């Protein structure tokens, strides 16, 4: 099949409503000067990744209408329709309704193209993402690595299966955790509010809002999903192995640190069982280190890769378990019986959101360095310390072998617990991704319920509430970037919002391993403590800024703009103006702390010019990580 003069109608279950005029204008601008194949990529990316218009995720069925023409200097029209209300209908009724609307909106597409004096002939209606990938495989075979395309098929299949399982579980989870007909979440929380902070991570069901296959976990079977995915609130039993001290490395920023003493203090029951199990094998604990291993990782990697270490008893798998529960990620776990114990972050080498979730020794060694660096900054910057805490990762274990020998598949990092390090009084920490989850009866998000609990109910109230929220976000994340060149990965799953009686107090940053550093700042002399940090953490100003814009402005604040605009049925601009005002305010406050040339460059890049947006689909096609499209700046 050829695309010439033949519009393609595409639907995909990943967006909400569309501002037709705005989106059409964006596609026209993106199509100019492009080849036909480039236009196909850009059109798909525009739908799956452009989130500054109303091309957003929703709860129902959505069609994408993408018209591909031989004359790509003319417009490529895009229309979509939200069917969130129709999910209550039967499949047959919904299907008939979809077909009816499909014809109606196809006519709108035809009408637009007729205005451009373009001949119209429909070649195919695409009703399945897999069908789209097959067409791409056929049409763009010379430009797409088939190995990468096959990986996408596996991701799609994994996402589809997992999404079905999660949606089946979701209503029960929401009901049991938060809601009945008479009460809202604050009335259901136990007296010790901080203990309930962990429960919010179990609300998250949507996955990454931009990634095409957000629920994919390639490597997990359906049984593994039920046993290890946080969506199903499983109890997971880690294996506690013994590793000879000559092959284990300990990464820490704590002076005079004794790992085994620390482990025995925080995991007393497991330590005693571990010592007893070693003694039963005729081994003393003096020469060994306790190392937790995820059961899936043990079965699929450790037993296979480390055969020789196991054979010569350098690595001894013991029948000792640590009972834990996954948090927002299958590989970050919390002790079941002690909610204030340290988190354990382990390699679980599945592929999720295009990345294999192993845990290389280079990262294990880097994270304590970054934790100490961030601790020093927050101690030095009073304004930032009032708006942000960090969850430090001070301790890690790794194998002293080459990564080629599998070291990335056997390691651990211990992270501070949010309860013990960051909360006080009646404060409660909620992972930002949970704020977007909806209550089943009201169909309002958790964010709206919290705001209403604090007596912010009108549009004017919401603007005031959001202004405080944005002030805290930008007063920490943007300040860190402008003063120190630090770009934390401040998206929804890496950020916790601290509330007290529904009022936002500050934020907590976690998962420091993906921090970007642009060291060419006025505070560059402060970077001596990073001398042992791998060069891969030091980025150009473009990449550092792109990380900030993508994770903080788009994935975090931008998604809240959409949520609020949808709830109050108002223009998104109403809330984007709040972000613009606060961004300008931070630039003015910091004008004397940032080199003048860099200040001007960052001001223009953040407030004036188009923003870079991660091109997830193209990156996957080409096995790249640094491909970007540019989208209209919502602050300009």
For 484-496, the pLDDT digits (tens) are 999 999 999 999 9
What is each CA distance from 4 to 23, 24, 277, in whole angstroms?
A: 22, 19, 70
Angle, in degrees to the nearest 10, between helices 559-568 and 459-473: 170
Q: Write out pLDDT tens, residues 557-575.
A: 999 999 999 999 999 999 9
Looking at residue 172, what is its pLDDT? Answer: 59
Higher pLDDT, 185 or 477: 477
pLDDT-wise least confident of 111-115, 198-202, 351-355 = 111-115
Residue 579 pLDDT > 70, yes or no? yes
Q: Whose CA is closest to 487, among 573, 427, 421, 556?
A: 556
All structural domains of the chain: 8-128 (no CATH), 228-399 (no CATH), 423-631 (1.10.510.40)
pLDDT-wise least confident of 18-32, 125-139, 455-469, 592-606 = 18-32
Q: Write out pLDDT tens, residues 53-73.
A: 332 222 222 233 333 322 222
Across residues 153-161, what is the average pLDDT?
Answer: 85
Q: Write out pLDDT tens, residues 415-468.
A: 999 988 899 888 999 999 999 988 777 789 999 999 999 999 999 999 999 999
Looking at residue 632, what is its pLDDT? Answer: 93
Across residues 30-49, what is the average pLDDT?
Answer: 43
Looking at residue 181, what is its pLDDT? Answer: 37
Across residues 571-586, what is the average pLDDT?
Answer: 98
Residue 544 pLDDT > 90, yes or no? yes
Give 174's pLDDT tier (boundaries 50, 70, 90): low
Work out the percent of the chain whose per-residue pLDDT is above 70: 74
Residue 169 pLDDT > 80, yes or no? no
Q: Write out pLDDT tens, residues 233-276.
A: 899 999 999 999 999 999 999 999 999 999 999 999 999 999 99
pLDDT-wise least confident of 288-297, 473-482, 537-546, 619-628 = 619-628
Q: Whose CA is closest to 236, among 324, 301, 329, 157?
A: 324
Residue 6 pLDDT > 70, yes or no? no
Angle, in degrees to the nearest 10, between helices 268-280 and 259-266: 120
Q: Write out pLDDT tens, residues 333-351.
A: 999 878 789 999 999 999 8
Looking at residue 67, what is its pLDDT? Answer: 32
Looking at residue 133, what is its pLDDT? Answer: 76
Looking at residue 127, what is its pLDDT? Answer: 62
Structure tokens, 514: 């993906």
What is each CA distance from 27 to 9, 334, 408, 479, 619, in whole angstroms?
A: 15, 46, 42, 34, 20
Give 176's pLDDT tier (boundaries 50, 70, 90): low
Task: Find which of 8-17, 114-123, 190-199, 504-513 is predicted with most confidence, using mean pLDDT.
Answer: 504-513
Bridge partners for 397 per DSSP:
250, 412
Q: Whose CA is closest to 199, among 353, 327, 105?
A: 327
Looking at residue 204, what is its pLDDT? Answer: 82
Q: Whose CA is closest to 196, among 186, 184, 183, 181?
A: 186
DSSP 511-555: -GGG-EE---STTGGGGGGGTTS-GGGB--HHHHHHHHIIIIIII
Q: Which residues contact 270 (CB under 8 A, 6 or more apart)?
A: 240, 290, 320, 321, 322
Looking at residue 88, what is its pLDDT? Answer: 34
Structure tokens, 141: 């075979």
How many CA atoms within 13 Å lie on the side-chain side of 103?
5
**pTM of the entire structure?**
0.80
The phi-psi region of residue 2 (left if phi > 0; otherwise alpha if psi is between -120 and 50; otherwise beta) is beta
Looking at residue 31, what is its pLDDT? Answer: 44
How many CB atoms are located within 10 Å of the residue 260 CB? 17
d(CA 464, CA 156): 41
Across residues 149-177, what is the average pLDDT?
Answer: 75
Give 521's pLDDT tier (boundaries 50, 70, 90): low
Higher pLDDT, 317 or 189: 317
Enclosing H/E stretch for 277 = helix 268-280
Residue 285 pLDDT > 70, yes or no? yes
Residue 311 pLDDT > 50, yes or no? yes
- Kindly state the greatest CA–CA separation across the chain: 85
Give 173's pLDDT tier (boundaries 50, 70, 90): low
Q: Write out pLDDT tens, residues 374-387.
A: 999 999 999 999 99
What is each CA distance from 358 to 468, 538, 551, in whole angstroms?
A: 38, 21, 22
Higher pLDDT, 110 or 348: 348
Across residues 205-214, what is the average pLDDT?
Answer: 81
């Amino acid at each position: 099949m050829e695309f010439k003069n033949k519009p393609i109608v595409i639907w995909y279950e990943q967006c909400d409503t569309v501002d037709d005029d705005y989106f059409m204008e964006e596609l026209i601008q993106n199509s100019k000067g492009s080849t036909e194949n480039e236009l196909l990529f850009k059109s798909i990316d525009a739908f799956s990744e452009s989130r500054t218009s109303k091309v957003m995720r929703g709860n129902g069925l959505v069609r994408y209408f993408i018209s591909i023409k031989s004359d790509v200097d003319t417009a490529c029209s895009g229309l979509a329709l939200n069917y969130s209300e129709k999910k209550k209908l039967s499949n047959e009724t919904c299907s008939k309704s979809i077909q009816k609307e499909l014809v109606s909106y196809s006519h709108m597409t035809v009408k637009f193209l007729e205005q451009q004096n373009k001949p119209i002939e429909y070649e195919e209606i695409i009703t399945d993402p897999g069908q789209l990938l097959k067409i791409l495989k056929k049409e763009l075979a010379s430009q797409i690595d088939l190995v990468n395309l096959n990986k996408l098929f596996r991701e799609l299949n994994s996402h589809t299966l997992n999404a079905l399982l999660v949606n089946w579980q979701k209503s029960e989870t929401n009901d049991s955790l938060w809601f009945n007909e008479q009460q809202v979440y604050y009335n259901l929380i136990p007296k010790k509010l901080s203990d309930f902070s962990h429960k919010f991570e179990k609300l998250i069901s949507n996955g990454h809002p931009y990634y095409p296959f957000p629920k994919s976990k390639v490597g997990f079977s359906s049984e593994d999903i039920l046993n290890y995915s946080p969506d199903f609130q499983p109890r997971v039993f880690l294996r506690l192995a013994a590793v000879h001290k000559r092959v284990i490395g300990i990464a820490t920023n704590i002076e005079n640190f004794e790992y085994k003493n620390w482990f025995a203090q925080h995991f007393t029951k497991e330590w005693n069982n571990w010592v007893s199990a070693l003694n039963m094998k005729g081994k003393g604990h003096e020469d060994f280190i306790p190392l937790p291993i995820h059961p899936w990782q043990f079965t699929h990697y450790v037993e296979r890769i480390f055969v020789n270490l196991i054979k010569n008893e350098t690595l001894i798998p013991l029948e000792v378990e640590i009972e834990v529960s996954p948090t927002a990620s299958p590989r970050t776990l919390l002790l079941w019986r002690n909610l204030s114990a340290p988190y354990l972050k382990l390699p679980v080498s599945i592929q999720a959101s295009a990345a294999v979730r192993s845990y290389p020794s280079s990262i294990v060694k880097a994270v304590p360095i970054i934790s100490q660096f961030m601790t020093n900054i927050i101690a030095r910057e009073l304004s930032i310390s009032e708006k942000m805490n960090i969850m430090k990762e001070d301790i890690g274990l790794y194998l002293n072998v080459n990564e080629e020998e599998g070291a990335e598949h056997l390691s651990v990092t211990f992270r501070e617990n949010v309860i013990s390090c960051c909360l006080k009084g009646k404060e409660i920490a909620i992972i930002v991704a949970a704020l977007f989850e909806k209550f089943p009866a009201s169909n309002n998000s958790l964010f709206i319920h919290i705001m209403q609990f604090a007596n912010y109910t009108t549009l004017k109230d919401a603007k005031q509430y959001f202004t405080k929220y944005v002030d805290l976000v930008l007063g920490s994340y943007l300040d860190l970037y402008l003063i120190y060149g630090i770009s934390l990965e401040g998206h929804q799953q890496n950020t916790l919002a601290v509330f007290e009686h529904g009022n936002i107090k500050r934020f907590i940053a976690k998962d420091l391993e993906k921090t970007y550093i642009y060291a060419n700042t006025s505070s560059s002399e402060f970077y001596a403590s990073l001398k042992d940090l791998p060069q891969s953490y030091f980025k150009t100003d473009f990449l550092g800024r792109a990380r900030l814009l993508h994770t903080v402005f788009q994935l975090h604040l931008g998604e809240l703009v959409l949520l609020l605009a949808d709830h109050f049925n108002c223009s998104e601009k109403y809330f984007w103006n709040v972000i613009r005002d606060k961004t300008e305010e931070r630039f003015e406050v910091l004008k004397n702390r940032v080199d003048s040339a860099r200040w001007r460059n960052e001001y223009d890049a953040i407030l004036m010019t188009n923003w870079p947006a991660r091109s997830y689909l193209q990156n996957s096609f080409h096995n790249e990580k640094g491909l970007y499209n540019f989208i209209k700046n919502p602050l300009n």
